[in-house]
Amino acid sequence: MPSHPTLLRALRGETLPRPPIWLMRQAGRYLPEYRATRAEAGSFLDLCYSPALATEVTLQPIRRYGFDAAILFADILLVPHGLGRKLWFAEGEGPRLEPLTTAADVAALADDAAMHAHLAPVYETVRRLRAALPEETALIGFAGAPWTVATYMIAGRGKDEQAGAKALMREAPDVFAALMGRLIDATTAYLEAQIDAGAQVVKLFDSWAGALVDDAAAFEAWIQEPAREIRSRLARTRPGVPIIAFPRGAGARYEAFAKAVMAEGVAIDSETPAAWARDHLQPHVAVQGNLDPALLVRGGEELDAAAEAVLDALGAGPFIFNLGHGITPDADPDNVARLVQVVRGEAGR
């Protein structure tokens, strides 16, 4: 019988001889097979909402590299789409949403039942993935954290320092708080549905957490507290399913975040020293991270040495090897294969 997936063992606090490895955006444009499937789909959203094609691109890096976990292929902005906001992707420019700025906009957001109906293809993808994956390969579901999703909903697109969300927070705090409350509810319901469909781990991506890192009160209220609340609710309604939280750019606030949220895992970005994470985070949670994605472009001895440094810093505690952010489209697939060999001790130390 296969043993429990190593990812789940690490999230239970085990220190393993070799850590599990998966990579953020491991299904993506750096792979020729992904580009072929993306062309078949017609549009990015069509790909996200096609269970057959979304399953295929999720499995592609598993077939190629044998990662220890697969992560559902979807997008963090499917939740606002499911809540009734218009969403489209401008070629070469990223996602676009109709901006949300008023109390009426928040009140008009769809209820959970309508959201689930809209996102039913995503849940079907999760079911297909769980059926298709080897037993030893963990399946990760995910959602965007409320702050990051709110920044896109308010501005209608990603902007530096999320000025639109900060302005609404300051000028219309009741509207902002109502939006965040609705996103906490919707995100929890979305993750619950993914778990019910077969996700064994869920990850909460707060990609723009760093925009609030210089404001302690705002960081606690809108980064830390929503993550704590979502984790607390899931612990009650779906006990035993671990959560990985990723407050990207949290800096020194990572430690307080980890203690307050009590997620089973915390992912760190490439700017966070691995040795600091070993001393300040690993006593409390499994750490995931944090190789610089640029090294998968450059490769060579520099890649090997950097991967070994991460292993040396974090390998003596509960640890999941990953990047500090997602694989970039210009990454070399051969460098990804080399990284897997290094992490698994197949390339020599």
When pLDDT is cut at 50, 70 and 90, the band that residue 3 belongs to is: low
Q: What is the mean pLDDT of residues 283-308?
A: 97
Q: In the chain, where are the structural domains located?
A: 6-343
When pLDDT is cut at 50, 70 and 90, the band that residue 4 belongs to is: confident
Is 38 one of the annotated active-site residues of the chain?
yes
Q: What is the mean pLDDT of residues 81-97?
A: 89
Q: Choose, from 18, 35, 75, 233, the residue flagged as catalytic.
A: 75
pTM above 0.85, yes or no: yes
Q: How many residues does the chain have?
A: 349
E-only strand ranges, the chain:
69-71, 87-90, 94-97, 138-144, 201-206, 243-247, 265-267, 286-291, 319-323
The yes-or-no verdict on residue 90 having pLDDT over 90 is no
Tell me: domain 6-343, CATH 3.40.50.150, correct? no
Radius of gyration of the chain (CA): 19
> What pLDDT score does 162 carry?
85
Q: Choose, from 29, 96, 127, 228, the residue flagged as catalytic.
A: 29
Residues facing 286 on adjacent strands: 265
What's the pLDDT tens digit per position in 47-64? 999 999 999 999 999 999
> What pLDDT score does 159 carry?
66
Is 25 one of the annotated active-site residues of the chain?
yes
d(CA 70, CA 79): 20
CB 15 within 8 A of CB 210: no
Tokens of 144: 């965007």
> What pLDDT score does 92 carry?
72
Is 123 one of the annotated active-site residues of the chain?
no
What's the pLDDT tens digit per position in 304-316? 999 999 999 999 9
Q: Choose, from 152, 253, 254, 304, the residue flagged as catalytic.
A: 152
When pLDDT is cut at 50, 70 and 90, the band that residue 2 belongs to is: very low
How far, CA to CA in Å, does 64 sit from each of 2, 3, 58, 165, 258? 20, 22, 11, 40, 33
Q: Choose, from 9, 38, 182, 253, the residue flagged as catalytic.
A: 38
What's the pLDDT tens digit per position in 188-232? 999 999 999 999 999 999 999 999 999 999 999 999 999 999 999
The yes-or-no verdict on residue 337 having pLDDT over 80 is yes
Mean pLDDT of the chain: 96
What's the pLDDT tens digit per position in 226-269? 999 999 999 999 999 999 999 999 999 999 999 999 999 999 99
Is 49 one of the annotated active-site residues of the chain?
no
> What pLDDT score does 138 carry?
98
Residues facing 243 on adjacent strands: 202
Is 34 one of the annotated active-site residues of the chain?
no
CB 5 within 8 A of CB 69: yes
Tokens of 161: 């320092």
Q: What percent of the chain has pLDDT over 70?
A: 98
Q: What is the mean pLDDT of residues 72-86?
A: 98
How far, CA to CA in Å, does 24 sit from each of 203, 260, 270? 11, 24, 13
> What pLDDT score does 348 carry?
57
Q: Choose, from 25, 128, 182, 248, the residue flagged as catalytic.
A: 25
